[in-house]
Amino acid sequence: MTHWPQLWVIAGPNGAGKSTLVRRHLTGKVPVVNPDDIARELSPHNPLLKNADIVGCYKRK
């Protein structure tokens, strides 16, 4: 049987639970590329990233 490459895209608005879904079900099982993690690594002191995290947490409550 031939196994074809797969690309899974988890998309949605802020606070929809994308990161939670990936963290709970996919991390360690498949390669994950998270743009938020990349942005934090490139600019860890960017206040806009902290604001985005705060908004995401607020929307989940």
**pLDDT 10s digits, 10-59:** 999 888 999 899 999 988 888 988 877 777 777 767 666 665 554 554 45
Please say if the pLDDT value at position 8 is more than 70: yes
Put simply, whether the predicted model's pTM sits higher than 0.75 gets the answer no
Domain boundaries, the chain: 32-61
Q: State how far the Cα of 36 lies from the Cα of 2, in Å rounded to an integer.
A: 34
pLDDT value for 50:
61
Residues 60/19, Cβ–Cβ less than 8 Å: no
Residue 11 confidence (pLDDT): 92
For residue 56, the model assigns a pLDDT of 54
Query: Quick one: pLDDT at residue 36?
Result: 77
Around Cβ 57, how many Cβ atoms within 10 Å?
A: 10
The helix (H) or strand (E) run that includes residue 48 is helix 47-60
